[in-house]
Amino acid sequence: MMRRLRRHLGWKLFLSYLIVILVGTVVLASAAEFMVPQAFERHMAAMAAAMGDTASELEVDLFTNFRNAVNEALALAALAAFLVAVVVSLFVSRRIVAPVREMMVASQRIAEGHYHERVNVPGGPVRDELDELARLAVSFNQMAAKLEQMEATRRELIGNVAHELRTPLAAIKGSMEGLIDGVLPAEAPTFQRIYREADRLQRLVTDLQELSRVEAGAFALNVRPVSARDLVGAAVARLGHQFEEKGITLETDVPADLPPVLADEDRIGQVLLNLVGNALQYTPAGGQVRVTARRRGAKVHISVSDTGIGIAAEHLPFIFTRFYRVDKSRSRVGGGSGIGLTIAEHLVEAHGGRIWAESPGPAQGSTFTFTLPIAKRSEHP
């Protein structure tokens, strides 16, 4: 019995009603026992004074009758209250305990890995009218949906990583087998091919590490006022000679009077290197790449535009998704794995900025823009 009581909310509710009824009955009974006789006697004394002897004979009978009537009424009230308590606790138990139990079962199922599990939301579809229990059910379902989505992402990530590792590993293994069997000559081009694939593997692993760090938000930003001109200048200086080699013009347009932005120089440098590096990669020889910075309200917009292969409208919404590549069959020797823009997006958002891509269409170039907050006057160096 005690065990049952401890484990069931319905029984606890019923018992609390019972206690209230019991206390009420005891109070009423004691009132009837101690207070009523005195009041009765006072009235009878007044009556005796008025009526004479006949009153005292009547008194005994009247008092017993009255007392019996009070006790009967009390017993009846207690019984009625008991029945009401049973009905009410059944009703409340159905309204409260049933949804709680449903959530308990669902959370156990989720813990076992059934992430599609959801609970019914008690009450109507109007959100404003939901009680705490219904809101708890709504939050529960949101949590379950989030877990389901995270699980799907985790599976997809493992699949993607395995896929990305397979290609360079197969190439390395193939070349090594060729060398062992004597089919491939043990010459510089063979070793260079192996080296390039190993290099690609290494870059992939570095990118993955970086991706997991930025996705977990596990990096510290050393934000301070920096000039956009310096940020752009550093990226351009690092990649300048590669543009020359490929025969692409690289121009910058950053007004000298632009106010300093609030940024972590290294992190934003990384974003710029990625965008300018992509522009270099996706622009054929003879093309142009332009890096511009402009003030727009409380932000500075930094854009990297190219005259390269462009991006079709149907791909634009996805290019910041990890591992997403427009041309999946493209030989990626020297190319990336579709992680760079995902990392860039996380870094820009950590600065309180936004990043997006625009392109009129394939072969018509693209523009990548990100925003950074302008440093307040008090923050200037």
* Cα–Cα–Cα angle for 6, 11, 12, rounded to 5 degrees: 65
Least distance from ligand ADP to the Cβ atom of residue 328, Å? 9
Cβ proximity to ligand ADP: between 246 and 325 the closer is: 325
Max CA distance (Å), the chain: 140
Least distance from ligand ADP to the Cβ atom of residue 146, Å? 25
Cβ proximity to ligand ADP: between 219 and 324 the closer is: 324
Least distance from ligand ADP to the Cβ atom of residue 300, Å? 21
Cβ proximity to ligand ADP: between 89 and 367 the closer is: 367
> How far, CA to CA in Å, does 117 sit from each of 23, 45, 103, 149?
44, 76, 10, 13
Least distance from ligand ADP to the Cβ atom of residue 116, Å? 31
> How far, CA to CA in Å, does 168 sit from each of 277, 281, 325, 334?
22, 20, 17, 12
Q: Where are the alpha helices (DSSP H) in 120-264?
A: 132-181, 188-215, 228-246
Least distance from ligand ADP to the Cβ atom of residue 324, Å? 6
Q: In the bound complex, which residue of the shown chain has the CB atom lying closest to ligand ADP?
A: 336
Binding residues for ligand ADP (CB under 6 A): 274, 278-279, 282, 306, 308-309, 311, 319, 324-327, 335-341, 366
**SS3 of residue 289 by DSSP:** strand
Listing DSSP states for 11-25 in one string gives HHHHHHHHHHHHHHH
**CA–CA gap between residue 303 and residue 379 (Å, rounded):** 24
Q: Report yes or no: 117 and 106 within 8 Å, Cβ to Cβ.
A: yes
Least distance from ligand ADP to the Cβ atom of residue 332, Å? 7
Q: Is the sign of the CA dihedral 131, 132, 137, 142 positive or negative?
A: positive
296 bridge partner residues: 299
Cβ proximity to ligand ADP: between 228 and 311 the closer is: 311
Cβ proximity to ligand ADP: between 106 and 341 the closer is: 341
Task: For residue 92, give the nearest of 14, 24, 4 by alpha carbon.
Answer: 14
Cβ proximity to ligand ADP: between 278 and 371 the closer is: 278
Least distance from ligand ADP to the Cβ atom of residue 339, Å? 6
Cβ proximity to ligand ADP: between 97 and 309 the closer is: 309
